[in-house]
Amino acid sequence: MSDLANNPLLKSLTLQDQAIPFNEIKVEHYMPAINAAIEEAKKNIAAIKAQKETSFENTIVALEQASEKVDRISNIYFNLFSAEANDAHQALAQQISPILSAFSSDVSLDEVLFQKIKFVYDNRTQLNLKNEDLKLTEKTFKSFSRNGALLNSAKKEELRALDQELSVLSPQFSENVLKATNAFEMWITDVTDLDGLPEGVREAAAMAAEQKGKKGQWLFTLQAPSLIPFITYSAKRELREKLWRANSSKAFGGEFDNQNIVKKIVTLTAKRAQMLGYKDYAEYALEERMAKDSATVFKFLTNLLEPSKKAAEKDLKEVKEFRKQLEGSDEIKPWDFAFYSEKLKEQKYAFNEEELRPYFKLENVIEGVFEHSRKLFGLTYKLNTTIPTYHPDVKTYEVYTEKNEYVGLFYMDYFPRETKKGGAWMTNYREQGMWSNSVKRPHVSIVCNFTKPTPTKPSLLSYDEVRTLFHEFGHALHGLLSQCKYRSLAGTNVYWDFVELPSQIMENWTEEKESLDLFAKHYETGATIPADLVAKIKKASLFQSGWMSLRQVSFAWLDMKWYTTDPAQITDVDQFETTAMEVTRLLPKEQGTNMSCAFGHIFGGGYAAGYYSYKWAEVLDADAFEYFKEKGLYNAEVAGKFMNSILSRGGTAHPMDLYKEFRGREPDPNSLLKRSGLL
């Protein structure tokens, strides 16, 4: 018992605003803490079931709070699984996931508990439930019925076994992708093999090599800050191909092969959906989305596919002709497109992405994003170095309103490392809403993989990285500005195809001189970014927009195909992907490469049958940003509406109702095609 009393995951938190004591948590603390938390939650649920009278408070609200510790501890574990996990931490997922899945099944399949929930749900009108109370009741009932509460006891046991099996597959998929990413290294010993690479990229590669004890060499990896500049700028075609092939065959064959895991995931998710009365997994997932069903999603994607493909064919033709002029050959392979496209952009717009880096020193961009949110929403940020973090790179801020009201804690984690998965994401360590009978403010985190500082230069971001920071910051604001009563309805707990609106709208400001002036200052001279360079960013933003649009549509199309096809018909992962993507493909398929085996969004990240959400929300964000452009980029009235109707409301109302409250009408479906120059 004494061990449990000292377990940092269970101790009552004394740090500022009950921040997590990351510095004290060790891998061996998780299992005892989770087991103890589950025991406590089971007692809480037994107490709910034992109540003689059934009410909203003693059933729905009590259940919302019954497993707080389980939620908090598992949340810490899985957040660090993605952001800072050694082998021992990763391996623990194979134990933790089934235990959590079993507990979740115990709750959602409990007949007595469900009857009490059903009583409150059936009597919601007589009980005079309104607003969030009503929404929470409906959500709880729906969640139970979507997780098997209406099945007979034999089917419940079958579902329980399915969920157990599924619970270990996603973490295993993600672990394989991370290990496959880390396993590849491209060493360069001849300086001529660096031809075309910007100085900062060379320096970062030399630093990476030196950290591995090989001074005088250069190391390139599959981490985005290494991979993307190499594919874009390297004049060595065979090396671009080597790196592209390695990246495009991650976890496809070899030691970290994900093919069987992919087949298992789609088989089990389809079986689960059918047991619950749905045609396939997509139908199950889309029931709680703005799009509502697969037919709507396919129609939406088809409407984008035609103009995107037409424009992308033009883009490809232009790049082929450009290469022919330069070198006499018009052959374009997948590892050539970014390279020649970048050179063509330079010629057309006298603009090179690398010209922008000196204006995007990381610290300045962070200050800019803070100032941006102050001008829009009146927020201020205070660095707090006394709050523990899980890695020295992580910075923690306390967030306040201009009236000095406390908003929440904000963690920022910027750079790649071998213990962190690729990409960028926002997450919570504590959702805003009710914890132990009182409404608490959120603890929000954004995790990125940005260009690191080198011995001679600070971290200078690419323009794409600046957009990524603004994007994730939009998600963070959705979490921080939440003003809900119940955490299940708070912050980013909204329909999946609505969750990208707050993030994607923020990217729009990165093309505007007025907002770039807040932070885009040359790291050496302090000079503000010149107007002609901003004009070039704007012009170049439509360059190859068909190609970029088709790329996103192709990912969404593949996702929908995986989750609407009968898995019994899928015998070969690669064959299935090749056929599914035929309609979106412009370049021939390269043998030995496969995207699905590393498609973390849909097999390891919660976007299954939901990747279309990025394009869906682009329609919303294009339409919403028009409103800001009409009234002023930092117009207080429009910003106030966006905060009060969207950012603060979480999932307390239907997204379309919230959007109409903000905009005064439904979104214009053509706004995205107009903005992308595809209409």
How many structural domains does the chain have? Answer: 2
Whether 274 shows a pLDDT value over 60: the answer reads: yes
Given a cut of 80, is residue 2 above it in pLDDT? no
Is 430 inside any structural domain? Answer: no
Summarize the confidence of residues 230-236 as an average pLDDT: 98
Angle CA(116)–CA(117)–CA(119) in degrees, nearest 5? 65
* CB 285, CB 563: distance < 8 Å: yes
Calculate the CA dihedral of residues 661, 628, 493, 97 and round it to 10 degrees. 160
142 and 217 inside one domain: no
131 and 12 belong to one structural domain? yes
Last residue of a domain, one of 248, 266, 295: 248
Q: Using pLDDT thresholds of 50, 70 and 90, give the confidence band for residue 3.
A: confident
Domain shared by 138 and 24, yes or no:
yes
Catalytic residues: 472
Output the CA–CA distances (angstroms, integers) from residue 52 to 69, 117, 119, 153, 319, in the order listed.
Answer: 26, 14, 13, 25, 73
Mean pLDDT for all residues in the chain:
97
Is the alpha carbon torsion for 406, 407, 413, 414 positive or negative? negative
Q: Mean per-residue pLDDT for 384-390?
A: 97
Nearest to 316 by CA among 547, 551, 554, 585: 547
On whether both 37 and 117 belong to a single domain, the answer is yes
pLDDT > 70: what percent of the chain? Answer: 100
Predicted pLDDT of residue 351: 87
Helix ranges (H only) for 328-420 are 334-349, 353-356, 362-377
The CATH number assigned to the domain holding 6 equals: 1.10.1370.40
Has residue 127 been placed in a domain?
A: yes
Closest CA to 336 of 233, 248, 246, 465: 233
Q: Which domain holds residue 114?
A: 2-108+110-150
Complete DSSP assignment for 604-641: TSS-TTTTTHHHHHHHHHHHHHHHHHHH-TT-HHHHHH
Last residue of a domain, one of 198, 213, 248: 248
pLDDT digits (tens, 9 = 90+) for 505-543: 999 999 999 999 999 999 999 999 999 999 999 988 899
Give me the pLDDT at residue 1, please: 43
* Domain contains 232: yes
**Is residue 128 assigned to a domain?**
yes
The contacts of residue 602 (CB under 8 Å, 6+ apart) are: 559, 562, 563, 608, 609, 610, 611
Domain shared by 145 and 188, yes or no: no
For the stretch 652-659, contacts whose Cβ atoms lie closer than 8 Å and that sit 24 or more positions apart, written own/partner, are 652/131, 652/132, 652/135, 652/484, 652/489, 653/135, 655/290, 655/494, 655/495, 655/497, 655/498, 656/290, 658/498, 659/498, 659/501, 659/620, 659/624
pLDDT digits (tens, 9 = 90+) for 81-97: 999 999 999 999 999 99
Contact partners, residue 372, CB within 8 Å, separation at least 6:
470, 506, 509, 515, 518
For 395, phi and psi rounded to 5 degrees? -110, 140
Residues 193 and 70 in one domain: no
Of 96, 124, 150, which marks where a domain is finished? 150
Q: Residue 537 is which amino acid? A: I
Tokens linked to 331: 């052959």
- Domain check: are 29 and 143 in the same one? yes
- What residue type is 312 in one-letter code? A
With beta carbons less than 8 A apart as the criterion, state whether 555 and 611 touch: yes
Does 39 share its domain with 118? yes
